[in-house]
Structure 1
Amino acid sequence: MGEFTPFQTVDVIGLPVAVTDYSSAIDWIFDRALAADRAYAIEAANTHVAALARHEQEFGEVMAQFDLICPDGMPLVWAINRCLGKRKKEKEESPEKLTDRVYGPTLMLKTIEASEGQPDLKHFFLGGAQSTLEKLHRRFEEQYPGSHIAGSYSPPFGDWPEEEFEKIRENIVASGANLIWVGLGCPKQERWIAKYKEQLPPGCYFGIGAAFAFHAGEVDQAPCWMQRIGMEWFYRLCKEPRRLSKRYFKYNGLFVWYQFNK
Structure 2
Amino acid sequence: MTETAIREEDFLGTPIALLDVPAAAAAVMARPADAPFAYIVTPNAQHLVQLDRGDPAFRAAYDAAWLRLCDSQIVRLVARLLFARRLPLCAGSDLTAALFATHIQPDDRICVIGGDEELERRLREKYGLRNLARHEPPMGFMADPEAVQACIDFIEAHPSRLVFLAVGSPRSELLAYRVRERGRASGIGLCIGSSLHFITGLVPRAPLWMRRMALEWLFRLLRAPRSHARRVFVDSLPFLYIALKQRLMPARRAGLPPEES
User: Do structure 1's residue 26 and structure 2's residue 25 form an aligned pair?
Assistant: yes
Cα RMSD (Å): 2.6
* TM-score under structure 2 length normalisation: 0.81
Deviates more, 1:3-12 or 1:23-32: 3-12
The residue matched to 1:157 in structure 2 has which SS? coil
Which structure 1 residue ranges, 5 or more long, are not aligned? Answer: 87-96
The residue matched to 1:45 in structure 2 has which SS? coil
When residues 5 and 188 of structure 1 are mapped into structure 2, their CA distance, relative to the original with a 3 A threshold, is farther
When residues 82 and 29 of structure 1 are mapped into structure 2, their CA distance, relative to the original with a 3 A threshold, is farther
When residues 225 and 201 of structure 1 are mapped into structure 2, their CA distance, relative to the original with a 3 A threshold, is same
* Residue in structure 1 matched with residue 168 of structure 2 by the alignment: 185
Given the alignment, which residue of 78, 88, 91 partners 1:103?
91
* Residue in structure 2 matched with residue 76 of structure 1 by the alignment: 75
Which structure 2 residue ranges, 5 or more long, are not aligned? Answer: 247-261
User: Do structure 1's residue 175 and structure 2's residue 175 form an aligned pair?
Assistant: no
Following the alignment from structure 1 to structure 2, what is the Cα–Cα distance between the partners of residues 241 and 118?
38
Following the alignment from structure 1 to structure 2, what is the Cα–Cα distance between the partners of residues 238 and 33?
42
Cα deviation code 1:233-252 (max 9, x no counterpart)? 11111112112212211233
* TM-score under structure 1 length normalisation: 0.81
Q: CA deviation at 1:215?
A: 3.4
* Residue in structure 1 matched with residue 207 of structure 2 by the alignment: 223
User: Do structure 1's residue 112 and structure 2's residue 112 form an aligned pair?
Assistant: no
Cα deviation code 1:62-113 (max 9, x no counterpart)? 2111110111111233355569956xxxxxxxxxx56x62121221121123
When residues 260 and 71 of structure 1 are mapped into structure 2, their CA distance, relative to the original with a 3 A threshold, is same
Count of residues paired in the alignment: 242
When residues 84 and 19 of structure 1 are mapped into structure 2, their CA distance, relative to the original with a 3 A threshold, is farther
* Residue in structure 1 matched with residue 139 of structure 2 by the alignment: 157
Cα deviation code 1:166-222 (max 9, x no counterpart)? 433443344331200001111111112113322251110111112233334332211
Following the alignment from structure 1 to structure 2, what is the Cα–Cα distance between the partners of residues 148 and 110?
19
* Residue in structure 2 matched with residue 41 of structure 1 by the alignment: 39
What percentage of aligned pairs have identical amino acids?
Answer: 23
* Residue in structure 2 matched with residue 243 of structure 1 by the alignment: 227
CA contact (8 A) 1:5 1:67 kept: no
Following the alignment from structure 1 to structure 2, what is the Cα–Cα distance between the partners of residues 25 and 10?
15
The residue matched to 1:151 in structure 2 has which SS? strand
